[in-house]
């Protein structure tokens, strides 16, 4: 198995844990992408996953047109040594083409997007033309044949694949679909994701907070992260720290969902039944990963459903979700995998780190007056400090072997904007 090179010199390493890349490698073959599809109008296709390649039945643009406001002429007529006058024979505005053919020493007034008339192949911009009379202009040397013309099919050629199956549709993509005249597309069905929190100490917002209790925040962070991935969420509330209750909730969730996600109850405390029940009712692939925060992280199957048992600490929930759940959800949704942007920048604050786990510290990536990037850590880095996530705009990813980081040392960062 793929364990750390030499755990003995890594004081934060736990021999029961597997490396993050090993965890990802175990998750990947287990996730079976959804197969069911539905047809949606492109107005509703944003953030859906294409189920089939899209081929264009059109050239875009459909005809050569002008990239500028000016005069369409024949390139061969352009002057070499001294100015030449051209006869103005008509206009070609966007949506209102010039109907006839343009001949020698003739020109047509064209606006941006207007079709290049038959016979013409060049546009001279209006600022470089001298109007002589109502129907005559003069063009000076220095123009190039073919200039300022957008060729037919230069954006999209008829028959070419504009978007591939597995594409997570962006605003640009839905516009692109419209530009080739496609009104509806086949997409994979949305995945059904059940989630719940565990813990006797949890109270809901609006409820009174008795001594020793805390508000359930994971429910909201999880729901929000799932929302951004456009799944069909099944919020199953809170399960108390009671073995029977955990079993019941697992059964109900597994029957309805493609994936079940829990938070809390996955460590080795007295009342932590998640792993136990998963072992009994389904199968556990792993339950400890060498990352910080987030070491207790259970992954396995629960009947037909995939199962992630996230840790209870609010920051651990987010780190493990982004690192492991999100890629699994994208794969489940039928989407082609993409790697979040990673930058290598100098640290502007020292970073405490012990070798033995991959750490996801919370950072603020910023630019100085000269445009140079650097990253500083947000305040306290404990796994329960949710403000550290809220203030941050990136993860600072520190490798397993990495120790203390000094100011000026380069570190990898993953901006949140690239993973939401
Ligand atoms: P556990 O893994 O259940 O031992 O939880 C670890 C820590 O996370 C404890 O301090 C819990 O109180 C806290 N925690 C667990 N679930 C939640 C939740 N839904 N919202 C906020 N904090 C939680
Ligand atoms: Mg608990």
Nearest alpha-carbon partner for 265 in 287, 248, 286:
287
Question: 189 C-alpha vs ligand 2 centroid, how far in Å?
Answer: 34
Domain 20-31+191-332 has CATH 3.40.640.10: no
Please give the Cα distance from 34 to 318 (Å, whole number): 24
The pLDDT score that the predictor gives to residue 205 is 95
The pLDDT score that the predictor gives to residue 4 is 47
Nearest alpha-carbon partner for 397 in 289, 288, 293, 287:
293
Q: Residue 216 CA: which ligand 1 atom is closest? A: 20
Token pair, residue 376, equals 């500083």
Choice from 209, 211, 312 to test ligand 1 binding pocket (greatest atom count within 8 A of CB): 312
CB 92 within 8 A of CB 108: yes
Question: 74 C-alpha vs ligand 1 centroid, how far in Å?
Answer: 75
The pLDDT score that the predictor gives to residue 140 is 97
Question: 261 C-alpha vs ligand 1 centroid, how far in Å?
Answer: 14
Task: Look up the CATH number of domain 65-150.
Answer: 2.170.190.11
Q: Is the CB of 197 under 6 A from ligand 1?
A: yes
3-state secondary structure 247-261: HHHHHHHHHHCCEEE
Q: Is the CB of 201 under 6 A from ligand 1?
A: yes
The pLDDT score that the predictor gives to residue 23 is 97
The pLDDT score that the predictor gives to residue 1 is 44
Please give the Cα distance from 302 to 275 (Å, whole number): 11
Question: 307 C-alpha vs ligand 2 centroid, how far in Å?
Answer: 18
Collapse the DSSP code of 86 into the 3-class scheme (helix H, G, I; strand E, B; otherwise coil) and give the result: strand
Token pair, residue 166, equals 């597995």
The pLDDT score that the predictor gives to residue 246 is 95
At residue 161, φ and ψ (nearest 5 deg) are -80, 120
**pLDDT digits over 234-283, tens only?**
999 999 999 999 999 999 999 999 999 999 998 877 678 999 999 999 99
Domain limits of the chain?
Answer: 20-31+191-332, 37-60+154-188, 65-150, 343-418
Which residues of the chain fall below pLDDT 50? 1-4
Q: Residue 263 CA: which ligand 1 atom is closest? A: 16
The pLDDT score that the predictor gives to residue 30 is 97
The pLDDT score that the predictor gives to residue 6 is 61
Q: Is the CB of 66 under 6 A from ligand 1?
A: no
How many angstroms from the chain centroid is the CA of residue 236? 27
Please give the Cα distance from 179 to 202 (Å, whole number): 51
Domain 37-60+154-188 has CATH 3.90.105.10: yes
Report domain 343-418's class. Answer: mainly beta
The pLDDT score that the predictor gives to residue 379 is 86
At residue 256, φ and ψ (nearest 5 deg) are -105, -20
């Amino acid at each position: 198995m793929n364990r750390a090179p030499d755990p003995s010199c890594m004081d934060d390493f736990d021999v029961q844990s597997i490396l993050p890349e090993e965890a990802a490698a175990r998750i990947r073959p287990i996730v079976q992408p959804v197969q069911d599809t539905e047809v949606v109008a492109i107005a509703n296709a944003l953030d859906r996953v294409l189920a089939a390649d899209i081929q264009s039945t059109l050239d875009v643009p459909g005809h050569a047109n002008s990239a500028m406001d000016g005069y369409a002429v024949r390139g061969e007529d352009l002057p070499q040594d001294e100015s030449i006058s051209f006869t103005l024979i008509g206009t070609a505005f966007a949506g209102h083409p010039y109907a006839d053919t343009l001949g020698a020493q003739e020109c047509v007034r064209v606006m941006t997007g207007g079709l290049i008339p038959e016979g013409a192949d060049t546009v001279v911009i209006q600022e470089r033309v001298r109007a002589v009379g109502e129907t005559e202009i003069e063009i000076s040397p220095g123009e190039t044949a073919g200039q300022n013309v957008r060729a037919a099919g230069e954006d999209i050629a008829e028959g070419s694949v504009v978007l591939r199956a597995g594409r997570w549709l962006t605003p640009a993509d839905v516009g692109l679909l419209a530009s080739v005249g496609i009104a509806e597309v086949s997409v994979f069905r949305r995945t059904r994701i059940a989630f719940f929190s565990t813990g006797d100490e949890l109270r809901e917002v609006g409820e009174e907070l008795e001594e020793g209790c805390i508000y359930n925040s994971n429910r909201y962070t999880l729901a929000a992260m799932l929302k951004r991935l456009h799944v069909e969420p099944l919020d199953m509330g809170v399960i108390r720290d009671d073995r029977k209750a955990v079993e019941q909730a697992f059964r109900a969730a597994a029957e309805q969902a493609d994936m079940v996600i829990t938070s809390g109850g996955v460590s080795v405390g007295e009342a932590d039944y998640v792993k136990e029940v998963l072992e009994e009712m389904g199968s556990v692939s792993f339950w400890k990963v060498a990352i910080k925060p987030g070491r207790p992280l259970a992954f396995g199957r629960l009947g037909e459903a995939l199962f992630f048992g996230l840790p209870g600490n609010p920051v651990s929930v987010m780190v493990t979700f982004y690192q492991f759940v999100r890629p699994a959800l994208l794969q489940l949704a039928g989407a082609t995998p993409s790697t979040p942007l990673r930058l290598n920048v100098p640290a502007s604050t020292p970073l405490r780190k012990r070798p033995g786990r991959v750490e996801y510290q919370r950072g603020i990536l910023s630019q100085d007056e000269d445009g140079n990037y650097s990253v500083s850590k947000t305040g306290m880095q404990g796994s329960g400090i949710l403000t550290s996530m809220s203030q941050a705009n990136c993860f600072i990813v520190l490798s397993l072997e990495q120790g203390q980081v000094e100011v000026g040392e380069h570190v990898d960062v993953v901006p949140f904007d690239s993973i939401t």
